[in-house]
Amino acid sequence: MSLNDRIKQGVAALDAAARPWASRSRLRGWAYEFLLFGLKQAWASLFGAAMLVLLLATRLWWLETAPLARYDFLVLGALAIQAFMLATRLERWDEALVILIFHAVGTAMELFKTAQGSWIYPEASLLRLGGVPLYSGFMYAAIGSYIARIWRLFDVRFERYPPLWAPWLLALAAYANFFTHHYIVDVRWGLFALSGLIFWRTRFTFRPDHAVRRMPMIVGALLVALFIWIAENLGTFANAWIYPDQAAGWRVVGLAKLGSWYLLVMLSFVLVSLVHRPERAERQAPPSGRAASGSRSPGSAGAASGRS
């Protein structure tokens, strides 16, 4: 039996034990749904969380006398995480291909940005391209992995999704602006406005448990950007990379970076949509909030974990 199958069995057993308790009142149903939401979010973040653990653990306990450079160890660790997720079917091969594209896109931007002095990788290593250690691309891959897994775990569908060319236009323009704003005017405010124009009517539906929940697309992207910004602060604290104003000592990354992460989330979303095509949400009223005790829906804890 594969690890993925064992996880599915464990989740199903946990759900069977907790479901009767959750069904006794609306408040308990909401509490259980919130618990499932958090657990699924954590499970979707597996790649990124493992990378953060590696960054922080090696920052705190890496020996300067070690025969292997810390950054090189991070490259090997990232490869091991990726191999583990594919071998255990926690990530699909078609998703991995798209994430590899995002890895390459991110590395290209890293090479340009470090050459411009936007940020630096202060530690020595062998496995690098120019000033960019090879593990850096895996941090972009972690964002793509999260979006791909969240799409499946929560059975994400869309209401009033724009024409397919529009998100691609936004993503390509945002990526180009990461480069061109060093030479010509920075148009990110125009890109924010364009994203609002494209997605202002778009909502996505998701299932933490049985009930179908809805959220505006822009709000969802902003929330993901916020959590990436928090992870970025942990990454810079771990000396994974630093910004010029952190050279004399660590400080919190400015909130202005949220805008950059928001645009990068949009780029990642568009790339993941190559394998998870945006599906139209079914028109149906959500359940009343009490956890249903009858037949299980595709969004229930056991079914969703089976698609992880």
Could you tell me which of 113, 106, 100, 95 has the C-alpha nearest to residue 137?
106
User: Is-contact 243 236, C-beta < 8 A?
Assistant: yes
What pLDDT shows up at residue 275? 85
Q: Give the phi and the psi of residue 205 in degrees, each rounded to 5.
A: -105, 150
Residues found in the chain: 308
What pLDDT shows up at residue 290? 43
What pLDDT shows up at residue 300? 47
**Lowest-pLDDT choice from 146-155, 258-267, 299-308:** 299-308
Domain positions in the chain: 3-306
What pLDDT shows up at residue 116? 94
Cα-atom radius of gyration of the chain, to the nearest Å?
A: 21
Is the pLDDT assigned to residue 302 strictly greater than 70? Answer: no
In this structure, the strands spanning 213-216 and 132-133 are unpaired
Higher pLDDT, 173 or 283: 173
- Average pLDDT score over the chain: 88
What pLDDT shows up at residue 280? 86
**% residues pLDDT > 90 (the chain):** 70
Is the pLDDT assigned to residue 154 strictly greater than 60? Answer: yes
Residue showing tokens 């829906």: 297
Here the tokens at position 296 are 């299980």
Residue 293: band (very low, low, confident or very high) from pLDDT cuts 50, 70, 90? very low
**Lowest-pLDDT choice from 6-15, 76-85, 98-107, 164-173:** 6-15
End-to-end alpha carbon distance in the chain: 16
**% residues pLDDT > 70 (the chain):** 90
d(CA 167, CA 143): 18
What pLDDT shows up at residue 286? 46
Burial 257-285 (b: 16+ CB within 10 A, else e): ebebbbbbbbbbbbbbbebbebeebeeee
Q: How many CA atoms lie within 13 A of 214 on its CB side?
A: 15
Average pLDDT over residues 14-28: 89
Is the pLDDT assigned to residue 26 strictly greater than 50? Answer: yes
Is the pLDDT assigned to residue 96 strictly greater than 50? Answer: yes
Average pLDDT over residues 199-221: 95
Is the pLDDT assigned to residue 288 strictly greater than 70? Answer: no
pLDDT in tens, 54-76: 999 999 999 988 999 999 999 99
What pLDDT shows up at residue 36? 93
**Lowest-pLDDT choice from 1-15, 96-110, 119-133, 294-308:** 294-308
